[in-house]
Amino acid sequence: MTHVDFMQVALEEARLAFEEGEVPVGAVIVRDGRIIARAHNTRERDKNALCHAEVTVIDAACRILGGWRLVGCSLYVTLEPCPMCAGAILNAQLKDVYVGASDEKMGAFGGLLDVRGKGLFRSSVTFGILEEESRALMQRFFQKLRDKREEKKEDSL
């Protein structure tokens, strides 16, 4: 499988999040060319601020592999990770991170801030894999939210 194939699986997870009314972010962890774990955002469903796709997929991979170090593993995620998720990536010691779309509002790899410049962060980060698809899904989600708010506003008049 290629980087695009793995990101397609992450996008499938993001679409599941979209269908569930969650911010559409999906993630997969890969080792030796095989998907170890996959997840998507479930904050609304689980009523838990920690249930970002990246944290959930790291947790699943740790359980599957039997340890907290994910050395030799790569993360594919449809949206640039936030600071919390960047910390989880750092602690899990992931080798590579592949990102679909950047996130100027919350991203920790150059969007809002950049955690890579302090010498602690050793994972390589590559942007732009299926960026247009990732961004389009995110835009569709937020447009749907805005439309719902407008409908509610009109109904209350």
**What does the CA dihedral 19, 21, 24, 30 come to, rounded to 10 degrees?**
-70
The alpha carbon of residue 33 and the mean position of all alpha carbons in its chain are separated, in whole angstroms, by: 19
User: Model pTM?
Assistant: 0.93
Distance CA(92)–CA(70), nearest Å, equals 5
pLDDT string in tens for the chain (157-residue length)? 899 999 999 999 999 999 999 999 999 999 999 999 999 999 999 999 999 999 999 999 999 999 999 999 999 999 999 999 999 999 999 999 999 999 999 999 999 999 988 677 888 999 999 999 999 999 999 999 998 888 777 776 6
Distance CA(23)–CA(116), nearest Å, equals 25
Residues involved in catalysis: 54
